Amino acid sequence: MRKILVALMLVCVLGLFAQIPAGTKSLALSAEIGDLLNSDAPAALGFDVNLMVGYFMMDNLELIAGGSFTMPPVDGADSYFGIGGGLGYHYPISPMIGLFGRALFSYLSAGDGYTSIPIDAGVEIFLNKNVAIQIYDEFIFQLKEGLDNSDYIEAGIAVYIE
C-alpha cells in the first residue's frame, strides 16, 4: 500500500501538464466498462463507444460536441446512435492529475428517438502535455417517460492540441 501511495505522490509532485489553456482543441474516445445500476452488470453490459471533440473557450472550460454508438446486450435489440453537445470543466489537482466534469444534451436514435442529459465526472491522468487517460462516471438522466436513469463507468483517452 505504501508503494502505491509513494508512486501517486511522485506522479502528483513531478508532473507538469494539467492546465489546459484557452484555444486548445480536444479529441476524446471512451468506452463503457461497467454498469452501476444493474446488478447483472457483466451479463447486461453491451458495447458503447463515445467520441467527443472540444474547444477550450477559456482556461479549463470546454465547449463539446460528440457522438456515440451503442449495441445493446439484448439479442435482437437494435443498435443506435446518439449526438449531443454541452460544456465541460477541467480542474487541475496537481500538474499531472485533474478532475473534470461535463454535461451534455443528447439525442438518441433508439426506438422513436429520445433525449437525455449525460453528466460525467471523473479523473484524468496526463501521460504527457497532450495525452490523458480519463476514467469517469456517466450518469444519464432520461428525458423520456418510462425510461430509467442509468449510471456507467467509462474509460478512455483524450488528446489535447494547442
What are the pLDDT digits (tens) for 25-52? 999 999 887 766 665 544 455 678 899 9
19 vs 129: CA distance, rounded Å: 9
What is the grid cell recorded at 16? 507538469
9 vs 142: CA distance, rounded Å: 39
Q: Is the whole model's pTM more than 0.95, yes or no?
A: no
Beta strands (DSSP E) in 6-161 are: 25-35, 47-58, 61-71, 80-92, 97-108, 114-126, 131-142, 150-161
- Residue bearing the bigger pLDDT, 112 or 155: 155
Question: What is the average pLDDT value for the chain, to the nearest integer?
Answer: 83
Judged on CB neighbours under 10 Å (0-12, 13-18, 19+), 113 is exposed
| Highest mean pLDDT: which range of 5-9, 46-50, 78-82, 127-131 | 127-131
**Quick one: pLDDT band at residue 15, thresholds 50, 70, 90?**
very low
Count of structural domains, the chain: 1
Write the CATH number for 78.
Answer: 2.40.160.20
Among 6-10, 49-53, 94-98, whose mean pLDDT is lowest?
6-10
Whether the predicted pLDDT of 104 surpasses 50: yes
The range of the structural domain enclosing residue 73 comes to 2-161
15 vs 23: CA distance, rounded Å: 22
- 5 membership: H or E segment, kind and range: helix 2-14
